[in-house]
Amino acid sequence: MSSNTISNQAISSKATLSPLVQTVGALVFGAVILFAVGFMPVDAAHNAAHDTRHSLAFPCH
């Protein structure tokens, strides 16, 4: 019972997150993905995304 109440509260508080918080969240999501593709200093990630980094003119090598 009590866990139900807690999860319901969690859901309702999630649904009332302000639009600003939600759009900033989406912006951070986009930035994290771009970091992974363009900047992540792991050799395997660099090699996989190599041609993308060059083509988008991200600093590479």
Partner 1 sequence: MLFRRIIFCALFIGFLSGLLFTAIQSISVSPIIFAAEQYEVTEPEVAPVQGHHHGEGASSEHHHDQEAWGPNDGMERTLYTLLSNVLAGIGFAAILLSIMSQLQLKGVANLSIVKGLAWGVAGFIAFFVAPGIGLPPEIPGIEAAPLDNRQTWWLLAVVASGVGIGTLAFAKGAYKIIGVAFIALPFLIGAPHSAGPEFTHPDANVVAILSDLHHQFIVASGVANLAFWLALGALCAWALNRQVLNDRYAEA
Residues that bind partner 1 (CB under 8 A): 14-15, 17, 19-20, 22-27, 29-34, 36-39, 43-44, 47-61
- Residue placing its CB nearer to partner 1 in the complex, 6 or 29: 29
- Residue placing its CB nearer to partner 1 in the complex, 6 or 11: 11
Q: Which residue type, as a one-letter code, is found at position 7?
A: S
- Residue placing its CB nearer to partner 1 in the complex, 1 or 44: 44
For residues 29 and 32, give the distance between their C-alpha atoms in angstroms, rounded to a whole number: 5
Q: Which residue type, as a one-letter code, is found at position 20?
A: L
For residues 6 and 28, give the distance between their C-alpha atoms in angstroms, rounded to a whole number: 27
